[in-house]
Amino acid sequence: MTVQRRIDHAGHRVNESNHKHRVQFLIAGDESSLPELEAVLSTLPLCATGRVFVEVESEDQIGSLDVPPRMTVTWLPRSRRSGAPGSGAGCAQGEAFSRAVRAWAGEMLCSDPEEAHIWLGGHYRGVAEAHDYLTTSLGVAPEVIQTPPAYRLGVSH
């Protein structure tokens, strides 16, 4: 006869999933912020979960990034994307990663936006649009979103 032993650990049992307090990491930027983005990734805990979006001009700029096993990296080449719907314009810098952030966050952060750590870097347009959506539409507290200090997003005037 096999006896299954259950050990309590932080409010859940070892044979149960504990997704109640899982912090989601969202890291996004473009090629202009790649060194900073890589530095942020190097500080993530090994158990980090979430997404990384990296916008680049074209496919030849796609590289590899060291990320924790539960993080997914998506490269967004602008040369393969269109700009605003119906405009016929090409994808402007910051536009692809801003769209990706809004789509992912709208689905993944809807239940508890405060359980997130967010880093946005790159062109002002993308960072500002993503920051505005996260704070205004999803109610994410500005304190959990890191942006370039020069952009002064989330700062009271």
Q: Whole-model pTM?
A: 0.82
**DSSP structure string for 49-91:** EEEEEEEESSGGG-------TEEEEEEEEGGG-BSSTTS-PBP
Q: Find the range with the poorest average confidence among 2-16, 40-54, 111-125, 128-142.
A: 2-16
So what's the pLDDT on residue 90?
A: 82
Tokens of 52: 């990384």
Q: Which residue's entry shows tokens 């239940």? A: 111
How do residues 86-108 score in pLDDT, each as one tens digit?
777 788 899 999 999 999 999 98
Helix (H, G, I), strand (E, B) or coil at 25: strand
Q: Which residue has the tokens 């002002």?
A: 124
- Residue 127's pLDDT is 96
22-60+69-147 topology per CATH: Rossmann fold (3.40.50)
* Domain residue limits, the chain: 22-60+69-147
Report the Cα–Cα distance between both ends of the chain, in Å, rounded. 68
